[in-house]
Structure 1
Amino acid sequence: MTNYSHFMIRTAVEADRAAVEEIVRDAYTKWITVIGGEPAPMKADYAALIEAGRVWVLDSLDALIVLVEEPGVLLIENVAVRPSAQGKGLGRRLLAFAEERTHALGRTAVRLYTNEKMTTNIALYQSLGYRETGREEINGRRIVHLRKDLPHRTAQR
């Protein structure tokens, strides 16, 4: 059993690509029947995302987050945790890491989107302070947009 109390988060490198793709596949497979097809993260080009420095992994390679800098906000494009490691707080830690990165980049909010049929994910995000900002249809799927405005931090001395 892996102890996650002192894990590190680092940017993924090309050597991590197979593990990254496996984490995503394993984490999202359960949603295929719920939403009627592969979730968008299963179709992403992880070689390009890793090369662009957008993929961050838990050093145990049990979880990942994909972050995209946007004007004023940091977009969480994907959070995935291996099913065998779910329920241990890894997703929440990665979301907290996204907030830390948001502050470090001088941005004031973090945003994400998910399929409206992924209700357990939406409930988790809302429990962490995200609020729904809109819904839209993309490629025949209903998407829920969520955002969390972060308190302003003064510079640490």
Structure 2
Amino acid sequence: MQHDPTLPGMRRATPADEALVRGFTRAAYAKWVPVIGREPRPMTADYALALREHRIDLVEPEGVLRALIEMRAEPDHLLIVNVAVAPAQQGQGLGRALLAHAEAVARQAGLAEMRLYTNGRFASNIALYARCGYEQYAEEVLPPLGTVIHMRKRLR
């Protein structure tokens, strides 16, 4: 178990957590369905595969899942694939704390850049990432998904 004072109860997900991760992510992203008219990608992801190929860390104080972050190390950066926070916990700093956690993971791996992508219609997420030091570096239109905003942050 990892010990992070800003994220009590953090642990690395295992393959046994597949249903938990899937159900939690679906609940966290449900608010976006009416915004984009479909389920966002994290709601339909293959979490059995993700748990084998990515690092997923869970924030589970008192055994109750409150947030998670999914990351994939690339040769020159750490990609944040998914940040999910329980609807009742949104707006309380957990997303920001998870981004800081990911930056610590990147530094430990010797990586100097963070990257992530999000739907162009997720304005509150884009604003959060910008407040955390991420800048937009690319935009791509992927019919029928919409516009994908690519953001990055160089670590010191």
TM-score, scaled to structure 1: 0.88
Closer, same or farther: CA 69–6 of 1 in aligned 2, 3 Å: closer
Closer, same or farther: CA 53–71 of 1 in aligned 2, 3 Å: closer
| Structure 2: runs of 5+ lacking an equivalent | none
One-letter code aligned to 1:43 = T
The residue aligned with 2:153 is 148
The residue aligned with 2:30 is 29
The residue aligned with 1:71 is 75
One-letter code aligned to 2:14 = V
User: Residue 11 of structure 1 contacts residue 53 of structure 1 at CA under 8 Å; is this kept in 2?
Assistant: no
Report the CA distance between 1:69 and its aligned residue: 0.8
d(CA) in 2 for partners of 1:52, 1:63: 20
**How many residues of Structure 1 are paired with residues of Structure 2 in the alignment?**
148
Deviations 1:44-98 (A, max 9, x none): 1111211335211113321111101112100000000110122221111111010
d(CA) in 1 for partners of 2:54, 2:132: 26
Aligned residues: percent identity? 45
Query: Which is worse superposed, 110-119 or 44-53?
Result: 44-53
Q: CA RMSD in A?
A: 1.5
Query: In the TM superposition, what are the counterparts of 1:2-151 in structure 2 within 5 Å?
Result: 7-60=8-61, 61-140=65-144, 141-151=146-156
| Structure 1: runs of 5+ lacking an equivalent | 152-157
d(CA) in 2 for partners of 1:16, 1:63: 13
- Structure 1 stretches of at least 4 aligned residues deviating more than 6 Å after TM superposition: none
One-letter code aligned to 1:124 = L
d(CA) in 2 for partners of 1:40, 1:6: 26
TM-score, scaled to structure 2: 0.88
d(CA) in 2 for partners of 1:96, 1:55: 15
